[in-house]
Structure 1
Amino acid sequence: MIARRLVVRGRVQGVNYRGWVQDRARARGVMGWAENRADGTVDVWLQGAPDDVVAVERAVGEGPSHARVEGVETSDVHPRGDLDGFARR
């Protein structure tokens, strides 16, 4: 199991970006969350099997057609034991 934290910049708030990420993460069995931040970015935590996390991470970088992802900062982090599913915060 691996975990990654992503900070997504661009037009990613007010366009259902978090719900779109949630759908992709749930489809791959990835746990974590997507949360709007005050600075206009979206904070995403992905945790699960390496292939699934990488697949969702790639999708996060592309985003849905109504969003515009300008950049993603990615950090490897330690997996958490308190996650259950994927939440939109």
Structure 2
Amino acid sequence: MSDNVRLTAWVRGQVQGVGFRWWTRSRALEIGLLGYASNLADGRVEVVAEGPRQDCERLLEHLRAGDPPGRVEGVTDLWGEARDSYEGFVVR
């Protein structure tokens, strides 16, 4: 049984076309998380990260209060069980 969790976060604001997904990938890799960051058609970025809860919370804090490129207006998060289906952290 894994102690890992899955964080899904939807980031809204000026977050597309500014390097936000690559910045997120860099933070996630520094922390040691697996998953992806992807642009959505409505202008948001979806971030899915798996790992220990405290590490996912750290990434969420970066998304909400870090110094990312662009402008974050808000972050909605959803927590669940890890599916252990990722290798690395990628930009989609």
TM-score w.r.t. the length of structure 1 is 0.93
Q: Which residue pairs with 2:18 in the alignment? A: 15
Query: Which contiguous aligned blocks of 4+ residues in structure 1 show a shift greater than 4 angstroms?
Result: none
Query: Unpaired segments of 5 or more residues in structure 2?
Result: none
Root mean square deviation of aligned Cα: 1.2
Equivalent pairs counted in the alignment come to 89
Closer, same or farther: CA 40–27 of 1 in aligned 2, 3 Å: same
Closer, same or farther: CA 59–8 of 1 in aligned 2, 3 Å: same
Instruction: Tell me if structure 2 keeps the 8 A contact 1:5–1:44.
Output: yes
Whole-Å separation in 2 of the counterparts to 1:65 and 1:83: 24
Q: Which residue pairs with 1:81 in the alignment? A: 84
2:76 counterpart letter in structure 1: E
Closer, same or farther: CA 39–50 of 1 in aligned 2, 3 Å: same
Q: Kindly, what percent of the aligned residue pairs are identical?
A: 36
Query: Unpaired segments of 5 or more residues in structure 1?
Result: none
Superposition deviation, residue 66 in structure 1: 3.3
Q: Which residue pairs with 2:51 in the alignment? A: 48
Q: Secondary structure at the match of 1:26?
A: helix
Cα deviation, 1:23-81, whole Å, max 9, x if unaligned, reads: 00000101110000000000000110122111111101135353110011100122112
Moved more, 55-64 or 12-21: 55-64
Q: Secondary structure at the match of 1:39?
A: coil
Whether 1:39 and 2:42 are equivalent positions in the alignment is: yes
